[in-house]
Amino acid sequence: MHKRNKSKQQRKLAANSHGNSRTFGRGGNFSGYGFPVSTSQNTTYDVARQAGWPDVVGFAQLWRMGTKNPIGKAGIHRLVDKTWQTHPVITDGDDDGKRSKTKFEIDLQILITKHKLFSRLKGADWRQRVGRYAAILPIIKESNPGESSDEITTVSGIDALLKLVPKFESEVDVTDVSTISDISDVNYGNPTHFNLREGVVGDRNPIDNIEVQLHPSRVITYAEGADDGSIFGIPTLEAGFNDLINLESIGASAAITMKKNAQQRIVASIRDGQIADKISNPNSEAYKSFNRSMDNFDKGVKNSLVLYGMDVHTLNTTLADPTNPFTIALTSFCASISTPVSELVGLQMNEQASASNSAAFNKTAKSRRENFVNPEIIMKTLDYLINVGVLSKPTNEIIITWDDLDEDTPSEKLGTAGKMMEINKKNYDAGRGPQVFSSEEIRKAAGYEADSDDELEEFSEDDDELTPMDK
């Protein structure tokens, strides 16, 4: 049995699901997410307060920024979309295409098709980037079902799996939950249980409103950046959160200024002293008549305004060009998530710079596949399902193979093959001897297999008739 901390003062897990601030075992000057809290009351020199940056950022704020802020949403999803642009091929050992499928591979195919494994894993992947972690709840039909707070029992076969449900951190919450304190336990420092909550921030189901305690064996957690072996990773928007606030402020300032200018706020300068005396009295008929005239003019489309002894002009607000500060904030945010600006927002650039940015972004996605998705998402999920008996045990090492993100598209391959054929034709027309590219090289460039040896054997060594392409 796991030992639990009995004292409330010894609890280490922070409450963060509802945006509140609780100590995370690092002292009173840290929030639940480990953000340092400013204690300065001098707003003259406190940049954070002047800029409107929050001292404490919880899950609710991160979720709002990742769903209502377009740049923040792109920061969450863009790299995940690139990572899962295609699905991996998972095999039980090497597969030359000639051997029969193993029981593990047959079960896995059912998991992929019936339970939409890759779609669910991608859903958990982007959810864990919002907060410190996310989870998948495997809904399993147990032969001897117990309470949800009890350890899950093993089952026999893929048919026992009913569904896989991705959840946000807020939905599998650890607020006020004790940690495993036994330093000899492999799960030391992790929560003793999770609180499954419906109707919280992140949950879009308006019907359910329940709270159930879950044993850790019933939850598969995913946390990017959790290199200490815990379930707590690093939110993707953490480093660039202030930049996102700056982007919102700049955009809002420009919109508000344009709205104020469009409202045509009228300023009247009264030259005649007698008229000024009459209008300045709220009880006078002149005052009421003047206001009626101004209201009718403001509400009308083709109205005219006749005023005696007054000069009228509109009050406009001048706003500096927001492009430069917006670009600075956008570039800073993109740096915080290791994503080129052109990849995040589709900025038009010259071809060489765009190709360079795309190559760098592909490199980031490939590294993420190998170092995080393969071991911490795919293998973690498969190991869990094998251990509980949903998947059969593999007979060999599980091999995960992805395609190359830098590989040309089919149309690009055909374009390259066409250029190679054109070079061959020009070389032949110029009488410069043998072809530059062989038929096999052109077929490979187009994405096809080279001619097999069997096909080549149909021609004898004495067969010298060559087509123009082969000359």
Whether the CA torsion 34, 40, 41, 46 is positive or negative: it is: negative
Question: Counting beta carbons within 10 angstroms of the beta carbon of residue 349, is it exposed (0 to 12), middle (13 to 18) or buried (19 or more)?
Answer: middle
Cβ neighbors of 12 (< 8 A, separation 6 or more) are 5, 24, 25, 179, 189
With CA atoms as reference, report the closest residue to 224 among 357, 86, 338. Answer: 338
**33 touches 25 (CB < 8 A):** no
How is 132-150 classified by DSSP, letter by letter? S-EEEEEEE--SS---TTS
φ/ψ of residue 398, rounded to 5: -75, 125
The HSE-up count of residue 419 (CA atoms within 13 Å, CB side) is: 7
With CA atoms as reference, report the closest residue to 268 among 298, 316, 312. Answer: 312
Give the model's pLDDT for residue 303: 65
Give the model's pLDDT for residue 42: 57
Give the model's pLDDT for residue 112: 97
Give the model's pLDDT for residue 27: 34
Angle between helices 103-113 and 117-130 (to 10 degrees): 60
- Measured at the alpha carbon of residue 343, what is the angle toward residues 130 and 379, in degrees to the nearest 5? 50
Please list the residues that pair with 312 across neighbouring strands.
268
Give the model's pLDDT for residue 20: 38
Question: What does the block give as tokens for 431?
Answer: 């009488």
**215 touches 150 (CB < 8 A):** yes
Question: What does the block give as tokens for 372?
Answer: 């995080």
Report the alpha-carbon distance of residue 114 to residue 181 in Å, rounded: 40
| Termini Cα distance of the chain | 79
Report the alpha-carbon distance of residue 424 to residue 438 in Å, rounded: 9
Give the model's pLDDT for residue 76: 96
CB burial of 122-145 (b: ≥16 within 10 Å; e: otherwise) equals bbbbbbbbbbbbbbbbbebeeeee
Question: What does the block give as tokens for 121?
Answer: 């894993």
Question: Counting beta carbons within 10 angstroms of the beta carbon of residue 382, is it exposed (0 to 12), middle (13 to 18) or buried (19 or more)?
Answer: buried
Question: What does the block give as tokens for 46?
Answer: 């406190």
pLDDT in tens, the chain (471 residues): 444 444 433 333 333 333 433 333 333 333 345 545 555 555 556 777 777 888 888 999 999 999 999 999 999 999 999 999 999 999 999 887 788 999 999 999 999 999 999 999 999 999 999 999 999 999 999 888 888 989 999 998 999 999 999 999 999 999 888 888 889 988 888 999 999 988 888 777 767 677 899 999 999 999 999 988 889 999 999 999 999 999 999 988 888 777 777 666 677 777 777 777 777 778 888 788 877 877 777 776 666 666 667 777 777 667 778 889 999 999 999 999 988 888 888 765 555 556 778 888 999 999 999 999 999 999 999 999 999 999 999 999 999 999 998 877 777 788 888 888 888 888 877 877 778 888 888 888 887 876 655 444 444 445 544 444 444
Report the alpha-carbon distance of residue 223 to residue 78 in Å, rounded: 18
Whether the CA torsion 296, 298, 299, 300 is positive or negative: it is: positive
- Answer whether 0.75 is exceeded by the pTM: no
**361 touches 80 (CB < 8 A):** no
Give the model's pLDDT for residue 4: 43
Report the alpha-carbon distance of residue 158 to residue 393 in Å, rounded: 12
Give the model's pLDDT for residue 353: 57
Question: What does the block give as tokens for 2?
Answer: 């796991």
Give the model's pLDDT for residue 36: 53
**393 touches 104 (CB < 8 A):** yes
Give the model's pLDDT for residue 443: 86
Residue labelled with tokens 């087509």: 467
Cβ neighbors of 24 (< 8 A, separation 6 or more) are 12, 13, 14, 30, 31, 32, 33, 34
**32 touches 15 (CB < 8 A):** yes
DSSP 10: G
Report the alpha-carbon distance of residue 181 to residue 11 in Å, rounded: 10
Report the alpha-carbon distance of residue 293 to residue 304 in Å, rounded: 9
